[in-house]
Amino acid sequence: MTIVVLDGYAMNPGDLSWSTLQSFGPCAIYDRTSESEILDRAKNAVMILTNKVPLTKETLAQLPRLKYIGVTATGYNIVDIAAAHAQNITVTNVPAYSTHSVAQLVFALLLELTHHTGHHSHAVRSGRWSANSDFSFWDFPLTELAGKTFGIIGYGNIGKAVAKIALAFEMKVLVSSRSSRTQPVDALITSQLSPPFEIIDTDSLLRRSDIVSLHCALTKETDRLINTQRLTLMKPSALLINTGRGRLVDEAALADALNNGRLAGAGLDVLATEPPPKENPLLSAKNCIITPHFAWASEAARLRLLTVVINNIRSYIAGDPQNVIS
């Protein structure tokens, strides 16, 4: 049974061990694979692991030995699921491995936007505090989070984790989510919220929130959910956080709103095209913090990811596949 890892570097750049995976049989591990290299590298594969390398209908048709695809991520749009099903290929993913790490980065971005810690640290190191006439200085308004309204669009595992942290900052929490309209609100959240937890429509959430954090899936309905029209609903003092999917946001519209003072700031870990082209307007937008899609990538999260990837394979071999999406 030959296992081929097409793009293992993101999950394991060298600080984790592949030994358990290699114990299943012959294993070829590639840091990265271009689309032109897929067929040559995977032609003998019974199992393939992929994170971002696409497996299209045309590619799958040329891999007759393939029986299993393990997506080393939660999102699985890089695999043609219908084609895999037609070829009797089992496809699995890894849900909920990065919940805590992503929620943590939401607030790292938010705290940077509200206190500009990096800027002020640089100012101190450059000698400005030493030369200052007063014991204290700041270059931006410093914003206290307690009492602010925190809007969450998408109330899955990460949305729930973010809500709990927002409560610790004594913020009011609003939620807009298709699933939360029909499912009971998490008991822990309900018991801690005052005033009562509110589930409202997206437009109302945008109007009322001081901070909006995006955690919904990317679908036809949510593609560019935050667009010119929606941005006009938000307070000029509001902040937007996106650690979900880049295409949830119309990037040109967001850059325009930031540059013209219609939105106070944005913290983004994802963009529509990654890595971004140099002409992406957000790279030069005012008060826009961008991190390189690494919310998921803490060592703890990647270890959980690798552990579930291996357990998915083990379960498949045992005839009881888990986390199946095909």
Q: Active site residue: 35, 58, 170, 274, which one?
A: 274
Cis amide linkage into residue 195, ω under 30° from 0? yes
Query: For the chain, what's the residue count?
Result: 326
Please indicate whether residue 293 is annotated as part of the active site.
yes
CA distance 38 to 36: 6
CA distance 175 to 159: 9
CA distance 135 to 62: 69
**Phi, psi angle pair for 241, to nearest 5°:** -120, 130
Q: Active site residue: 178, 207, 224, 293, which one?
A: 293
CA distance 57 to 151: 39
Please indicate whether residue 251 is annotated as part of the active site.
no
Please indicate whether residue 247 is annotated as part of the active site.
no
State the number of CA atoms in the 13 A half-sphere of 110 facing the CB: 29
Q: Active site residue: 245, 251, 302, 304, which one?
A: 245
Tokens 């591990």: give the residue.
29
Contact 150, 209 (CB under 8 A): yes
- Active site members: 245, 274, 293
